[in-house]
Structure 1
């Protein structure tokens, strides 16, 4: 009986952890390709300020 309760509790914790990780991935802006900025290919994570041209310096 105790083993079943512990097993059930562990399953519940693992399920909650999985749901939390899924929410964190969504909040961290996972791109449509499924990679977050912390993963290997970082090209899609370049901030806009690093790629935009400065319109003031052109004038």
Structure 2
């Protein structure tokens, strides 16, 4: 009983991790295969750290 609970928990963790990695790839533009991904990205705001790095590098 305990072993089956561990297996279910681990598989849930792997499923969540794969979804998280997929989202991160889409946000970073690594996954350029589909139009839906680029459409989603076009609606996003530029992250604060990107604008901060740009302002520092221009000084």
Rounded Cα–Cα distance in structure 2 between residues aligned with 1:32 and 1:8 = 32
- The higher-RCO structure (CA 8 Å, 6+ apart) is 2
The runs of 5 or more residues in structure 2 that have no matched partner are: 35-59
What residue is the counterpart of 1:19 in the other structure?
19
Q: TM-score with structure 2 length normalisation? A: 0.51
Q: TM-score with structure 1 length normalisation? A: 0.51
1:32 aligns with 2:18: no
Rounded Cα–Cα distance in structure 1 between residues aligned with 2:9 and 2:21 = 18
Q: Which runs of 4+ in 1 moved over 3 A?
A: none
Shift of 1:16: 0.3
Larger radius of gyration: 1
What residue is the counterpart of 2:9 in the other structure?
9
